[in-house]
A and B are shown apart, each in its own frame.
Chain A
Amino acid sequence: MKTEWPLWEIFIRGQHGLSHRHVGSLHAPDAEMAIKNARDVYTRRNEGVSIWVVEAAAITASSPSDKGPMYEPSESKVYRHPSFYDIPDDVGAM
């Protein structure tokens, strides 16, 4: 009988108040076991204070071949960056 446990993607919040960050994946029969396994696999040295697990099949990802059209609109809008504007030195820090 083939019963491979589903794959879970693991996200961990480190000690530093940052967002949860993807650290890898593992197999587990359910979410509860995925968290327990993630504790053992990804936080053996105190790397985290919070774990999220998401079934890999539930993730929708952008396609790498769309990279051009997907991000082109932001490339052409240089005025979104503060460095676009020349503020005279006399104005002081801004």
Chain B
Amino acid sequence: MYAQMVKSTGTGLKSADEMSAEERAFQARIDAGEKIEPKDWMPEGYRKTLIRQIGQHAHSEIVGQLPEGNWITRAPTLERKAILLAKVQDEAGHGLYLYCAAETLGVSRDEMTEMLLDGRMKYSSIFNYPTLTWADMGAVGWLVDGAAIMNQVPLQRTSFGPYSRAMIRVCKEESFHQRQGFDIMMKMAQGTPQQKAMAQDALNRFWYPALMMFGPSDKDSVHSAQSMAWKIKMNTNDELRQKFVDQTVPQAEYLGLTVPDENLTWNEEKGGYDFSEPDWEEFFEVIKGNGPCNTDRLAARNKAWDDGAWVREGMMAHAEKKRARKMAAE
């Protein structure tokens, strides 16, 4: 998802007997559906895993602005341009909600930024794919935001209060994102044969990367089991991927587009589609930094950070000067 392959810290799931009294009380609060707040006692592993997960989620929102920002100046109409601007601005906002949630766990904004910029922290693999045509704006909104929503809706119930509240705000705003993407796809799929071909091409290129967003199967992963016990992960990757496919295939049919998977068939017994797995080797390469756009994305973030340094410093200096002047006058 926006947070992929987040490793929990610790030795895996402990039984109640292996837990300390504090850990047992903590787990009991979570099991009772109570929210954990920043100043409450929490196991170190819970804190560290959440910093990793929320941080990665925040970085994804920020880096996720780049593939769409790429088309703002070339949007086909003024209306589409205004909509895309609003959407990209929302992504910045979502990044900020999430950074502020992570900061309550005792990590600073600058530390998180530096860890993104030097590659110690990751962002979602999906943003390492290029957006080549306007139809990609449709595919990104429809598929990428659609997949994100699949994961974020259950996270509204996550155990960590600030994360849960950030997710509630994000989800309120996110459905506009998916709808505007689908709207672009509809327009193109009903347009000229060339436009329809562009829409099909965008679906072809984004289908498997979208499926990869959920991460590889984790039904046997100890990290996942721990995160699920802590309610910072609500569903397995496979559950969410299945839900996404089941929801998206009829939408593709409505558009008159073909999902690029010859093994895609309705399975009456399980009440869902059977489908091909994405190429996991490609996924691991992208995670390692070898995707089509990894270098560009990190270079763009580093440039923004470096070029903005004088502004950050200048504004701080100005604020301090004003404060000193005010104090002198009092």
Binding site for B on A (CB under 8 A): 1-5, 7, 23-27, 29-30, 33, 40-41, 44-45, 61, 63-65
Instruction: Identify the closest chain A residue to B313 (Cβ).
Output: A3
Partner-binding segment picked from B48-56, B125-133, B188-196, B315-323: B315-323
The answer on a CB contact under 8 Å between A29 and B96 is no
**Which one, B40, B93, B165, B313, contacts A41 given CB within 8 A?**
B93
Task: Report chain B residues within 8 Å CB of A7.
Answer: 103
Task: Report chain A residues within 8 Å CB of B39.
Answer: 61, 63-64
Interface size classification for chain B: 20 to 34
The answer on a CB contact under 8 Å between B319 and A29 is yes
Task: Report chain B residues within 8 Å CB of A41.
Answer: 93, 96-97
Q: Nearest Cβ distance between residue B244 and chain A, in whole angstroms?
A: 26
**Residue of B41, B93, B165, B316 with most partner-chain A CB within 10 A:** B316
Task: Report chain B residues within 8 Å CB of A2.
Answer: 110
Binding site for A on B (CB under 8 A): 37, 39-41, 86, 89-90, 93, 96-97, 100, 103, 108-110, 165-166, 169, 173, 312-313, 315-316, 318-319, 322-323
- CA separation between A26 and B96, bound complex, in Å? 7
**Residue of A1, A27, A63 with most partner-chain B CB within 10 A:** A27
- Known contacts A26-B96, A41-B93, A44-B93, A3 near B312 by CB under 8 Å: yes
- Known contacts A30-B323, A61-B39, A24 near B97 by CB under 8 Å: yes
- Known contacts A5-B315, A30-B319, A24 near B166 by CB under 8 Å: yes
The answer on a CB contact under 8 Å between A4 and B93 is no
Q: Nearest Cβ distance between residue A89 and chain B, in whole angstroms?
A: 38
The answer on a CB contact under 8 Å between B315 and A33 is yes
Instruction: Identify the closest chain B residue to A63 (Cβ).
Output: B39
Q: Nearest Cβ distance between residue A13 and chain B, in whole angstroms?
A: 17
Task: Report chain A residues within 8 Å CB of B37.
Answer: 64
Q: Nearest Cβ distance between residue B161 and chain A, in whole angstroms?
A: 11
Task: Report chain B residues within 8 Å CB of A29.
Answer: 315-316, 318-319
Q: Nearest Cβ distance between residue B169 and chain A, in whole angstroms?
A: 8
The answer on a CB contact under 8 Å between A30 and B90 is no
Task: Report chain B residues within 8 Å CB of A61.
Answer: 39
22 contacts between A and B (CB under 8 A): A3-B313, A3-B316, A4-B108, A5-B315, A5-B316, A7-B103, A24-B96, A24-B100, A24-B165, A24-B166, A24-B169, A26-B96, A27-B109, A29-B316, A29-B319, A30-B322, A30-B323, A33-B319, A44-B86, A44-B90, A45-B173, A64-B39
**Residue of A33, A61, A64 with most partner-chain B CB within 10 A:** A64
- CA separation between A33 and B315, bound complex, in Å? 10
The answer on a CB contact under 8 Å between B103 and A25 is yes
Instruction: Identify the closest chain B residue to A33 (Cβ).
Output: B315
- CA separation between A63 and B40, bound complex, in Å? 9
Q: Nearest Cβ distance between residue B117 and chain A, in whole angstroms?
A: 15
Task: Report chain B residues within 8 Å CB of A44.
Answer: 86, 89-90, 93, 173
- CA separation between A55 and B224, bound complex, in Å? 37
- Known contacts A27-B109, A30-B323, A1 near B96 by CB under 8 Å: no
- CA separation between A41 and B90, bound complex, in Å? 8
- CA separation between A73 and B90, bound complex, in Å? 45
Task: Report chain A residues within 8 Å CB of B166.
Answer: 24
The answer on a CB contact under 8 Å between A64 and B315 is no
The answer on a CB contact under 8 Å between B110 and A40 is no
Task: Report chain B residues within 8 Å CB of A27.
Answer: 109
Instruction: Identify the 4 closest CB pairs spanning chains A and B, nearest first.
Output: A29-B319, A30-B319, A29-B315, A25-B100
Task: Report chain A residues within 8 Å CB of B165.
Answer: 24
The answer on a CB contact under 8 Å between A1 and B89 is no
Q: Nearest Cβ distance between residue A29 and chain B, in whole angstroms?
A: 4
The answer on a CB contact under 8 Å between B100 and A5 is no
